[in-house]
Every structure is written in C-alpha cells, then in structure tokens.
Copies of this chain bind each other. A is one copy, B any other.
C-alpha cells in the first residue's frame, strides 16, 4: 500500500498538498488537485488511519459494549446506534465483553489509546467503578443499563413504571397469585422492575410473597425453564408470571407446557423486551416493548455530543405494554 510520500512524488507536489487534497482544504488549485487525485488513483492509495489518528487524536470509531450477542434484545439498539453513527461519519465496533472484566479492559484501553473516541456501554455487569473512573477523562454513555450513583449520562426507560404496568395488567385480568422471575438484583434494572412489581401488588392489596419470587443467574432460556420448574413445585401454584426478560419468559412457557398446563388459561405470562422470538412462541408472548431503535439512536447522539464536548443530559424514553396471547387467550 502506497503512502502519502509516494503520492506526492508521483504527483510532483509536496506531502502537504496531498494532505490538503485529502482533507478538502480550499486552498488548492483545480489543476494541482487533479494531479494529486490522478496519482492517488494510479497508486491505489488509501490514507493510513494510524498516521492520521496519531496526529489528530481521533479515530471516529465508537465502541459498543454488549454483555453477549446471544440476547436478541441488543440487536435493534445496535441498528439505531449504527445508523446514527454513520450519519455522523463515525463507525462502530461491537465488543462482546461476555461480562468478563479482563475483556472489558481491552476495550477500555482502546479508548485510552485513542483507537476509539468513545464508548456506549450496555453491559449491566460492567465494573462500574472503573467505568466511572474512565468517564472522567473519556466520553462514555450508558444505554439501557446504568449506574444510579454515578455521573455517566444514560438513556433508558422507566423500568419501575413498566413493570408496574405489566403486573397491573395481570391484576386487572383477575390474577392474585403473581410470581416474579427476576434476574440478579445486583443489577439496577432488576431492582427497579421488582419495585414496580411490588408497587402494583401493594396498590391492589395483594401480599408480596417471597416464595413467588425467583432469581436467575443468567438470562438464557434454560434459566427460565429452571425458574418455572421451581415455581411449579411450590405448594401454592401462581396463576400468573411476570418475567423480567423475554428469554426467561420463553423458557418458563416451555416448562409450563411440559407440565401439561395451558397458557394463559392455567398460567398467564408477561415478558419484557419484545424480542422477535416473542412473537413466534405458541401462544405469543405479552411483553413490555422498549423503543430499542430509538434508544440506540439516542445513545449514539449523546455520545457524539459528548465527544464534541457539548452538554449531555440523561434521557428516559417511553415504553409500551404489548398485549398478546399469553395473557389474553
């Protein structure tokens, strides 16, 4: 691959002039510009980002940290991020952290080393302390998951309200024995959704029973199955389930079917996220829809604003309860 000097030589000009052509500096005659462009084409030259970034201290690359690409929840968000980034002449790189601090470090270093201009973190298991530390020096935005005590701007939904509405929907249908399949409450979203669940129960004078609250370690289907299995072993069987994730809800649904029970007649289910699978189950899944694409766009816009040193405020987006067959036969 040719470099700028060779282009300069071939075009019979200085490297400065070549650089000016590359950066569309106005002070270049049409004639010189043409010479340079011809040379560039002939040599098949492409400027090195390395040299450029080293000098400019910018890479126009955004890092997107996701805990795992297995969860379809992230797909639409990423589309939003990507579209917005490209519109602003940025590109994104997906980083599958696997919630592994060591891998996270690699990506944090990319920002420190100017290989990337900023980070959008969607990993609830990220080392918050480290992230907050990094955020004092580098542009960082949190998307969907965030640290309530930190100062990093975020975009998310009102998880408590969303959960409240989901559970209220079940109560309005006449359910009184409503179980909660929650993930680990070390995550803020898990705590908030639980708060919403409890708020709804209390508002309608229903007791919050520990035996109907189950915590999973992960979000994969199997954990939902396992949770449901345990819940079905309780002496008193719940008539409805609110699950903090569609993947868990789908696993639960599978387990209910395996026990010869019917959804929603025997047990109703509400999930969370509206992943595309949720419409493929039988029955289809009632779920809380987050504006994922918009969330992605917002996060990207916020990050770019931050990079360009504009003021950035956290944003709470709307959500929507999508009622389908798993609650209304």
Which residues of A approach B to under 8 Å, CB–CB?
1, 46-51, 53-54, 68-70, 72, 74-75, 78-79, 82, 86, 91-96, 98, 103, 106, 109-110, 112-115, 137, 220-221, 250-251, 253-254, 257, 276-277, 279-282
Chain B residues with Cβ below 8 Å from A75 are 68-70
Contacts of A94 on B, CB cut-off 8 Å?
69, 93-96
23 A-B pairs within 8 Å (CB atoms) are namely A46-B113, A48-B113, A48-B114, A49-B109, A49-B113, A49-B114, A49-B115, A50-B50, A69-B69, A69-B75, A70-B72, A70-B276, A82-B98, A91-B106, A93-B94, A94-B94, A94-B95, A94-B96, A115-B115, A221-B279, A221-B280, A253-B280, A281-B281
Residues of B within 8 A of A98 (CB): 79, 82
Question: A281 to chain B: which residues have CB within 8 Å?
Answer: 280-282
Number of copies: 2
Q: Apart from A94-B94, A282-B282, list 5 A-B contacts with CB within 8 A.
A: A50-B114, A69-B74, A72-B72, A82-B103, A257-B282
Chain B residue, CB-CB nearest to A54: B50
A276 to B54, CA, bound (A): 43
A250 to B279, CA, bound (A): 11
Assuming the contacts A72-B70, A75-B69, A98-B82, asked whether A46 and B280 have C-beta atoms less than 8 A apart, the reply is no
* Across the A-B interface, the 3 shortest Cβ-Cβ residue pairs: A94-B94, A49-B113, A50-B54
* Candidates B49, B96, B137; contact of A110 at CB < 8 Å: B49
Contact partners of A95 in chain B: CB under 8 A: 93-94
- Residue contact B276 to A112, C-beta cutoff 8 Å: no
Residues of B close to A110: CB separation below 8 A: 49
Closest B residue, CB atoms, query A83: B98
**Smallest Cβ distance from A13 to chain B, in angstroms?**
22
Shortest C-beta distance, A262 to chain B (Å), equals 12
Instruction: Write out the residue numbers on chain B whose beta carbons fall within 8 Å of the beta carbon of A109.
Output: 46, 49
User: Contacts A94-B69, A94-B96: A221 and B50 contacting too (C-beta < 8 A)?
Assistant: no
Q: CA separation between A50 and B52, bound complex, in Å?
A: 10
CA of A281 to CA of B281, assembled, Å: 6
A69-B78 Cα distance, complex, nearest whole Å:
9
Minimum Cβ distance to chain B for residue A133 (Å): 10
Enumerate chain B residues within 8 angstroms of A79, measured Cβ to Cβ.
Answer: 98
Find chain B residues with CB under 8 A from A257 CB. Answer: 282
- Contact between chains at B50 and A113 (CB < 8 Å): yes
> Which one of B69, B220, B221, B254 lies within 8 Å of A282 (CB-CB)?
B254
C-alpha gap A54/B221 in the complex (Å): 45
Q: Which residues of B contact A50 (CB under 8 A)?
A: 50, 53-54, 113-115
B contact residues around A48 at 8 Å (CB)? 54, 113-114
Indicate if the CB atoms of A51 and B49 lie closer than 8 Å.
no
